[in-house]
Chain A
């Protein structure tokens, strides 16, 4: 286990304006996020950093790693950007309900991709 990094609770409280729970479970760990605009002057620095990172599709978990912040906090920041149309989210297409398996066409794609590595 790595030691905690930038997660001074006071700092996280400030970053999210005191919120700690995203409004919905809109983001999976591997939801791919894409910026729809460039950062603007005066924008919160974490929001600006996300917009720069996501010029190409970037998974939620990669954003968290790059910002050095817990995934839960990053989801809140992403929620802000999504609500204001500054990002779009490409959700996993296999999200399993309960213990349902993904369909075989997706698994075939994965096999082809792995064999080509």
Chain B
């Protein structure tokens, strides 16, 4: 790993490969406004240095039909960061840092499909940056929790944050420091416990 450099061409050799038994990739998406700490959180818990990749899509949310249209303004390239955590010999969890800005709406459905759930990372100084993300998640039916990244600003009560985000009572709100591995791990555990609660409730209804 010490040989890792910033040269992308050297990345493949700098990363520990997965076990040959790995056969189930899972996804969690971390969403939030610019500069809220998405990549920091991915980096804190990832087994690998976060990687970056791109998807080229049209406004209609489809991959491009005709590459000549790449030049067309109706298609856009979106970059996103991701990391991974090996959970056991078969199961690998991928964490995606997704841009929360409205102009990337066409990326969302693609990323969300098949995800376990999402973490909405918020900066209490800029709560409005999260409205759109929360709206999209609710619309898509993707379960999520809200994690308040501590930027050392004035303290807001949980009630104030809930009210500002118009958050329903059943959505967990947790505090975190995205720079801390333990804190970021706690956020992911909180999300998965929430998902388990939802799944158990659903199985109970059946």
Residue from B17, B54, B188, B202 whose CB has the most chain A CB atoms within 10 Å: B54
Judging by beta carbons under 8 Å apart, are A18 and B67 in contact? yes
Judging by beta carbons under 8 Å apart, are B26 and A70 in contact? no
Judging by beta carbons under 8 Å apart, are A32 and B55 in contact? no
The docked-state distance in angstroms from the alpha carbon of A56 to that of B94 is: 16
0/1 string, B174-202, CB within 8 A of A gives 1: 00000001000100110011011011101
Question: Does A83 interact with chain B (Cβ within 8 Å)?
Answer: no
Judging by beta carbons under 8 Å apart, are A12 and B193 in contact? no
The docked-state distance in angstroms from the alpha carbon of A108 to that of B22 is: 17
Q: Which of B56, B66, B141, B199 contacts A107 (CB 8 A)?
A: B199
0/1 string, A43-57, CB within 8 A of B gives 1: 000000000010111
Judging by beta carbons under 8 Å apart, are B189 and A7 in contact? no
Q: Which stretch in B84-92, B149-157, B162-170 binds the other chain? A: B84-92
Contacts of B56 in A (CB 8 A): 7, 70, 72-73
Min CB distance B86 to A, Å, is: 8
How many A residues face the partner with a CB closer than 8 A? 60
Judging by beta carbons under 8 Å apart, are A104 and B199 in contact? yes
Contact size class for B?
Answer: 35 or more
B interface residues, Cβ below 8 angstroms from A: 8, 11-12, 15, 17-20, 22-27, 45, 51-57, 63-68, 70-71, 77-79, 82, 84-88, 91-94, 96, 99, 111, 113-116, 140-143, 181, 185, 188-189, 192-193, 195-196, 198-200, 202-203
Q: A20-B66, A30-B25, A70-B56 are in contact. List 12 more A-B contacts (CB 8 A).
A: A7-B54, A30-B27, A32-B24, A34-B20, A65-B11, A66-B51, A70-B55, A72-B63, A104-B203, A111-B192, A111-B193, A113-B88
A interface residues, Cβ below 8 angstroms from B: 1-2, 4-5, 7, 9, 12-13, 16, 18, 20-22, 28-32, 34, 53, 55-59, 61-62, 64-66, 68-73, 75, 90, 92-96, 98-99, 101-104, 106-115, 117
